[in-house]
Amino acid sequence: MLTPDEIAAIAAKALEDKKARDVTILKTAEQTVLADYFVICNGTSSTHVKALVEEVDKKLSEAGEPPMRREGLRSDIWVLMDFGCVIVHVFTDEARQFYNLERLWSDAEVVSLSSLPSP
């Protein structure tokens, strides 16, 4: 079983490998019981959003951590992947600007991928 740090690192690395834009990792453990981390990014199109989601699903499933739930796959503007302790949000550019999760969770610590364990 992977730790929340490892899950966040694998997800963020998978997103970066697929050329996601502006990958942001928020440590939310002190702000909410929902998750220890939010991993947020955006894709360049609905096709790119789908590819990003598929890559995260593939990499974490291979590591023994398939998503518990996925929401929004049909809309292709915001897909949420719930891994229990880590929630991955993949947006289109417009949806990310509109929902602005970084502002909503502005009291959460922004964590760099390099500070997490290497996947």
Q: Look up the CATH number of the domain holding residue 87.
A: 3.30.460.10
Amino acid 119: pLDDT: 67
Range of the domain at 46: 4-111
Backbone angles phi, psi at 80, to 5 degrees: -110, 130
98 assigned to some structural domain: yes
Amino acid 118: pLDDT: 79
55 assigned to some structural domain: yes
116 assigned to some structural domain: no
71-106, pLDDT tens digit by residue?
996 777 999 999 999 999 999 999 999 999 999 999
List the one residue out of 49, 52, 48, 43 whose CA is nearest residue 21. 43
Amino acid 74: pLDDT: 75
10 assigned to some structural domain: yes
Tally of domains in the chain: 1
119 assigned to some structural domain: no
**If you count them, how many residues does the chain have?**
119
- The model's pTM is 0.94
Summary mean pLDDT of the chain: 94
| pLDDT tier for residue 67 given thresholds of 50, 70 and 90 | very high
More confident residue, 117 or 26: 26
DSSP letter for 31, please. T
75 assigned to some structural domain: yes
Amino acid 73: pLDDT: 67
11 assigned to some structural domain: yes
List the one residue out of 37, 106, 56 whose CA is nearest residue 70. 56
What is the per-residue DSSP string for 7-30? HHHHHHHHHHHTT-EEEEEEE-TT
Measure the CA–CA gap between 8 and 112, rounded to whole angstroms. 10
